[in-house]
Structure formats: C-alpha cells, structure tokens
Amino acid sequence: MSELQDLFNSAIEPLPEIHDKSFASHFDTFAEKQVILLGDGSHGTSEFYSARAEITKRLIERHGYTMVAVEADWPDAKVIDRYVRLRPGPKAQIGGTAKGYEPFNRFPTWMWRNVEMQRLVEWMRDRNHRMPPEKRAGFYGLDLYSMGASIDAVIDYLDRMDPKASKQARLRYGCLEPWIEEPASYGLASLRGMEDCEGRVVKMLRDLLEKRLEYAQSGLRDADEYHSGEQNAHLVRDAEKYYKTMYYSSVSSWNLRDIHMFETLERLLRFNEGQKAIVWAHNSHVGDARFTSMGSRRNELNIGQLCREQLGSENVTILGCGTHTGTVAAAHEWDDDMEVMPVRPSRADSWEIVAHDTGVPRFVLDLRRDRIDPAFRSALAAEQRLQRFIGVIYRPDTERNSHYSQAVLQKQFDGYVWFDETQAVNPLEVIQPITPLGKGETYPFGL
C-alpha cells in the first residue's frame, strides 16, 4: 500500500447510511459560512441528491441557511419557490404545473424532476408552513437557458406594474421573437450578419433598474416580484450574449454561463442581506476551476472559483461528491431519452480509485488547510490524478476523453463526500420532451 493510500485511509471519516438521523450531523463543522456549495459527480445519481438533501435540511434547521440556489433556470425555480414559501402567484411542486406552466419540462427533465428533489421540496414547504414568512427558506435557479420564459416573465411583471413599459418591452424583445424556440440559431444568425438584439435587451434591463425606486413605491409593491423581474431581465441579456458566444468560443460561453450563475447568487445575497445560501451544482461548477485542467489548460472559470475570489475563501465552503461504480441516469446524446446506464469502475490513475481502495462504502474527507495533516496535504499535492465528471450525457466508450479531467483535490474542494457504489436517480419521467433549444447548450457534455 502506498504512503498516499495509508494517509488517505487515516484521514477519512466513515458515514452512516444517508437516511440515518446522524448522517447530516457529520457536516456541521462545514457550516456557518455565508455560502456552502454542494457538488455532484453526475446529474443522475440518487445518493448525490439524497445526501445533499439531508445536508440541506440540517443547514436550514440548525445553521440558519435560508436560500437553496440550484443549477436550474430562474423561471422554473420561481414557481417552486412560490410553492415552498407559500407565496402568491403561479406555483407548482416538482412534477406539477403552474397555470399551464410545467417547471423543468425540457431535456434533461430527470435532473430536477426526480423523487429525491420532490421529497426535499415537500420538506421545505412543510417546514416553511410552520415558520413566519421572514424565516422561510426559498428555492432559486442560477442558470441562463430560459430566455423565452424570462422574456414572458418580464412582460408579465410590467403588465401589472407599468403598462407603458410593458409595451416597450414587447417591442424590444420582439427582436428575439423569431429565435425563442431555437435560441442557439440566433447566435448562428448573428454571426452571419443578421440583426443583433444586444442593444435592445441591454436598454430594457437599464430601464427596469432605473425604475426600481418608482416600482418600490407603487401600491402594487412586492420586493420579491421586482427582484424576480430584474433577474429575468439580467437573464435575457446574458442569454442573448451566451447564444452568440457559443458558436465561436466554447471557453467564453462556459465562462459567461458561470459568471451569470455567480452574479445571480450575488444578487440573491444582496437582496436577502445577512442571509446564507446553499448552492447545488455539478462538481465542474462548484469545485474551484483553478485547480483542475478546466482552469489550468482551458482558461475556464466557475462559480466555485468566483465565490472564493469575490466573497472570500473564509466565507465559502465547497463540498464535492464522487463514486466508483453502480448505475447512473443519463442520455447518450442531447435530447435522447433517459437511460439507466452502468457506471464503469474508476480508472487506476484517478482520485476515485484511491477513495475506492479505502474499502469504506461512505465517508467524508476533510481537506481544509487547518484540519488536514501536513504530511497528507503534501502527499496529495505530489499526486497528479484524474477526476471523473458525468453530466446529463454519459459516454462510457470514450470515458477517458469525455469524462475525466486533471484535478488537485485538496485545493478544488474543502471536503469530499464518497459513495463507493451508487444507483441512478429516480426520475418522474424517462421519455424526454422534444427540446431543440437544448442542443449543444452546455459544454462539456451537459455539465
């Protein structure tokens, strides 16, 4: 057995079963930060969702966190937020509808429309029902793929607040109307010299921001609804830029997306001053990109890196999740139906195999500088190893090139949560809706 393996074995803290009452208490020392980011090694693993749900419940109940912000579109998450916080307006549970609007109803539906998320959402609603409104925990989306839904949301808000501005919004956003169903085609068309809508959507956002005080003093005042309208206007601006960028630079589009997610989180923190947030996203988004080949070779950044840089490492905790083998819910190609696929055993040159060779089925590894043994830290730093990233697309036949990336584990995360053998998430649907707007949206491989 190698020195690294010996030190690794000595550093881990075994965990009970996820639904054991004591499971989430093992993460208490990671709490009390302004933001805690909870990663997953795939978007289709039940243990990753269930573990994060149990940790989230404890963070809300015992440590005062009031925001759950996930790698999902803002309008979809908003109808869930109204449901869990028992707020007025269109609302829906996971798997439900809100005045004809069905949240998370585009590929990959299983990422959020699954039993594990359904249980967390119902728990949040039940708990919030017993709490005064100011202490209720909310549910928010960080991503930027909902350009059409966000345009509709801005117009709907202005219809109620400012009919004159609503007419202006319809004119300005009308520039994007031909591309709502397939926004990626807008980016291609703009490269070919067709009309660029950037100036119009930027002007719409500026107008909304300039009227913040006026709307706040209105008899129809609702701070949450103004904040949501503003966020949707930011989203349209960033999505318009994203769909143009994706055709000439995958790095720029990745960075723009993660900057949008961080700035959305930052606005949430400002709006809910003094409150604390829990972020759910893939390991590739939350694990500090500077310490993976994403950052060191491809010049990509991510929300984890930006949180540490902009909020301060002392105010941020990052936890990642990993597995050795089992099954995963994923698709072979974008817009394919979901399949339950076997996960290949981890490679001999990966961090996952080191975790597997402990022989411990579940554990947490504390990687914080003030808690890790210096000899172990040195041993970790001396190793160049790969880490596996499975998104909504899984290509086991080309797994090395498709799903592995170099990572410096102890700098990427503050803690690493391990489940040796895992099972696919429990989806509410297997057949996927036809969503042409999704093709090619995320890079790499649906993360």
Q: Which residues pair with 277 in a beta bridge?
A: 35, 67
Is 51 inside a domain boundary? yes
Q: What is the pLDDT of residue 444?
A: 46
User: For residues 37 and 47, what is the distance between their CA atoms, to the nearest angstrom?
Assistant: 17
Is 281 inside a domain boundary? yes
Is 396 inside a domain boundary? yes
Is 200 inside a domain boundary? yes
Q: What is the pLDDT of residue 351?
A: 98
Is 446 inside a domain boundary? no
Is 250 inside a domain boundary? yes
Q: Which residues pair with 316 in a beta bridge?
A: 35
| Residue (of 72, 66, 79, 240) closest to 138 by Cα position | 66
Q: Are 285 and 258 in contact (CB under 8 A)?
A: yes
Helix (H) or strand (E) holding 369: none
Q: 3-class DSSP state for residue 400?
A: helix
- Predicted confidence pLDDT, tens digits, the chain (447 residues): 689 999 999 999 999 999 999 999 999 999 989 999 999 999 999 999 999 999 999 999 999 999 999 999 999 999 999 999 999 988 999 989 988 788 999 899 999 999 999 999 999 999 999 999 999 999 999 999 999 999 999 999 999 888 999 999 999 999 998 888 888 788 778 777 677 899 999 999 999 888 876 776 665 557 898 899 999 999 999 999 998 887 666 778 899 999 999 999 999 999 999 999 999 999 999 999 999 999 999 999 999 999 999 999 999 999 999 999 999 999 999 889 999 999 999 999 999 999 999 999 999 999 999 999 999 999 999 888 999 999 999 999 999 999 999 999 999 999 999 999 999 999 998 888 876 545 445 544 467
Global pTM reads 0.95
What single string gives the DSSP state of each residue in 1-38? --HHHHHHHHHEEE---TTSTTTGGGGGGG-SSSEEEE
Q: How many structural domains does the chain have?
A: 1
Q: Are 394 and 332 in contact (CB under 8 A)?
A: yes
User: For residues 292 and 308, what is the distance between their CA atoms, to the nearest angstrom?
Assistant: 15
Domain containing 174 equals 3-438
Q: What is the pLDDT of residue 248?
A: 66
State both tokens at 280.
Answer: 């759910």
Is 445 inside a domain boundary? no
Q: What is the pLDDT of residue 445?
A: 47
Is 444 inside a domain boundary? no
